[in-house]
A and B are shown apart, each in its own frame.
Chain A
C-alpha cells in the first residue's frame, strides 16, 4: 500500500500562517499583474482618460480606472503614422534568423561535444558558456567597432549575427544536455544496420526534437526582447520593436498611448510563446542547471 500523508492538525499557529500566506500571494499577484492591467487598459484609452487619477488618498475613486470609452486610435497610429509593421517584420527576421542559425550549427556542435572526449574539452566549454555570460555592453564595444568596419551596423544580417553571439553558445550548452540523454547505443544499432554516421545522427533527432523546439522559442524570446543590441547594432536600418517603442519617447512629446499599445504588441506574442514552452522555461533560463 502506498504511504499515506502524515496527517497534520490545524493549530492556531498554522491557521494564522495559512491566512497570512493567502494574503501574501494575493498581494503579490496584484502587484505582478497590475502593471499589465494598466498597460492593456491604457492602450485602449484616450490619453485624457488614461491620465485621470482620483484625488490623493481617495481610495474609493479607484473606479475611475475602469470608466472609459475604448478606442483603437493608438494601435492605428502605430501602424499608420509609424511603420510598426516593418518593425515587427524586422524583429521576426532578426530573432528567427539568429534562432535558426544557432539551432543548426548549435545542434551539430552540441551533438559532437556530447559524443566525443578530448583534451581541453572543459576549457572549450567554459569559453563557449562565458561568451553567453558576458555583459552585453562589454561585448558590444568591440562588436560595434568591427561591424562598423564591415558595414554591418544598421543592417539585419548584422543584427542576426549580433544575436548569434549569445544564442549560439546558449544552443550548444543547452542542446548538449539533451543529446547527453540519448544513449549512443541507438546510433550504434543504426550503424550496424548500415546507416552512415550522419544518418545515425539524423535518426536520433526526433528524440531531441521537443528540446530543440523549446530552445528555438527561447532564442526568439531573448532576441525579440533585446534592446541594447538592437539600439546600437541595428540602429537606423534594422529597427526592432523595443527600439521603435523607445523612440516614441520624444523630448517634447511622449506618446504614452502609442507606447502602451506598442508594449501590448511586443509583449502579447511572447507571453503566448512563454506559455507554450512553460515546461522548458526553468531549464532554459537557468542554462540547464535546474530541471523541473
Chain B
C-alpha cells in the first residue's frame, strides 16, 4: 500500500498556476497606460465655467470690499484702543474687559428677554390672526390693511409711538389710563414698563409678517387630510392642533429664525423710543454697542462687542440656511 497522505488532493502545480495567473493579471492591470496620447485640442469655446466666473466677479469684488474687508478690519479694530485721534495696540484687552462689564452682560440678557417675549407674542397673535383671516370673505382687504405697519420706517414708527405714549397728550396713554392699567406716569418713564412699551411697538410692526408667512403656510395644508379628519369626527380645534399646526411648523420655524435675527439687526425704533433708557432698562446689546461706538466713539471696544454679536448671528444664520435648504420647509 502506497502512502498517499503527503500528497495534496489538488495537484500542486494547479494551485501555483492559479496563484500565478492572478498575481500576473493584477500586475498587468497596474501597469500605466503609456499609449494614451494627449486629448485632441477642443475647437469649442473655453470652458463655460470661466465665463460664469467673469459674470460673478464684479458682485463678489464689491461684496469683498464692503463685507469681507470690513470683517477683517473689525477684528483688527477689536485689538486696539481706538479713539477719535488714532489707535493703540492693546491685544485682547478689549475682550477681557467685556467679561467684567456688567452693562455688556446685562445687554445680552435684555436682548434675549426682548427677543423671546417679542417672538412669543408675535407667534401666538400672528398665527391666530392668520387662521381667522384665512379663507375669510374679506381676506384681500384684511391682509392689505394688516401689512401696513411693515411699510413704515421703524424710526418713524418709534416717533409715532413716542407721541402715542406721551404722558400728557398721547392717545394710547389715555386709553391705558382710562382702562385703569396705568397711572399718570408715562409707560416709557418707568423702568419696569418701558420694556413692555418697546415690545408692544415691535409686536405692532412685525406681527403682520408672521401672519403673512403663516397664511402662505396655511394655503399649503393638505385639504384631504383636514377633510378625512373631519369625516372621522374631529372637532375644528382638534383639526387645528393635529393637522394644521404640524403642517405649519416648517414655515413657522423660518419665521421664528428670521424675526429672531431681525431683533438683533434692527434697533431703529427702540433707539428713537427710549434710547436704552430709563436707566438701562431697555439697553439691549445692539443699543449698548451703538452707544459705545457712536456716542463715545470707543471703536475698538465697540468692535469687540460687535464681534460677539456677529458670532451669535452667524450661528443663527447657519441654522437658518440649513432650514432653508431642507426640502420640507417653505420652498414649493
Partners in one complex: yes
Tell me if A174 is interfacial: C-beta within 8 Å of chain B.
no
- From A67-75, A77-85, A129-137, A206-214, give the one contacting chain B: A129-137
Tell me if B93 is interfacial: C-beta within 8 Å of chain A.
no
Tell me if A263 is interfacial: C-beta within 8 Å of chain B.
yes
Secondary structure call for the B interface: helix
Chain B contacts of A232 at CB under 8 A?
294
Chain A contacts of B132 at CB under 8 A?
21, 24-25
**Among B53, B209, B266, contact of A112 (Cβ-Cβ < 8 Å):** B53
Residues in B lying within 8 Å of A, measured CB to CB: 48-49, 51-53, 55-56, 58-60, 62-63, 66-71, 73-74, 77, 82, 125, 128-129, 132-133, 136, 142, 144-157, 159-161, 163-164, 168-169, 171, 174, 177-178, 204, 208-209, 212-213, 215-217, 219, 227, 230-231, 235-236, 251, 254-255, 258, 261, 264-268, 271-272, 286, 289-290, 293-294, 299, 302-303, 306-307, 309-310, 313-314, 316-318, 320-321, 323-324, 329-332
Q: Which of A156-206 contact B (CB under 8 A)?
A: 161-162, 164-165, 168-169, 172, 197, 201
> How far is the CB of B68 from the nearest CB of chain A, in Å?
8
Chain A contacts of B154 at CB under 8 A?
225, 227
The reply to whether B151 and A267 form a contact with Cβ atoms under 8 Å apart is yes
Tell me if A89 is interfacial: C-beta within 8 Å of chain B.
no
The reply to whether B148 and A291 form a contact with Cβ atoms under 8 Å apart is no
Tell me if A242 is interfacial: C-beta within 8 Å of chain B.
yes
In chain B, what residue has the closest Cβ to A105?
Answer: B59
The reply to whether A108 and B55 form a contact with Cβ atoms under 8 Å apart is yes
Tell me if A76 is interfacial: C-beta within 8 Å of chain B.
no
Tell me if A90 is interfacial: C-beta within 8 Å of chain B.
no
Q: Are A38 and B56 also in contact (CB < 8 A) when A290-B213, A291-B216 are?
A: no
Chain B contacts of A169 at CB under 8 A?
63, 67
In chain A, what residue has the closest Cβ to B301?
Answer: A141
The reply to whether B63 and A8 form a contact with Cβ atoms under 8 Å apart is no
Chain A contacts of B307 at CB under 8 A?
138
Q: Are A227 and B272 also in contact (CB < 8 A) when A135-B309, A136-B266, A141-B293 are?
A: yes
Q: How far is the CA of A232 from the CA of B293 in the complex (A)?
A: 11
The reply to whether A129 and B317 form a contact with Cβ atoms under 8 Å apart is yes
Q: Which of A89-133 contact B (CB under 8 A)?
A: 101, 105-106, 108-109, 111-113, 115-116, 118, 124-131, 133
The reply to whether A6 and B59 form a contact with Cβ atoms under 8 Å apart is no
The reply to whether B58 and A290 form a contact with Cβ atoms under 8 Å apart is no
Count A interface residues, CB 8 Å: 107
The reply to whether B156 and A267 form a contact with Cβ atoms under 8 Å apart is yes
Closest 7 CB pairs of A and B: A109-B59, A227-B155, A138-B306, A112-B52, A225-B153, A142-B70, A51-B169
The reply to whether B236 and A135 form a contact with Cβ atoms under 8 Å apart is no
Chain B contacts of A172 at CB under 8 A?
59
Chain A contacts of B151 at CB under 8 A?
221, 225, 267, 270-271, 273-274
Chain A contacts of B56 at CB under 8 A?
108-109, 112-113
Given contacts A28-B146, A227-B154, A246-B155, 7 further A-B contacts (CB under 8 A): A24-B128, A127-B63, A135-B265, A161-B66, A242-B156, A263-B159, A271-B148
The reply to whether A145 and B82 form a contact with Cβ atoms under 8 Å apart is yes
Q: How far is the CA of A267 from the CA of B7 in the complex (A)?
A: 103
The reply to whether A33 and B155 form a contact with Cβ atoms under 8 Å apart is no
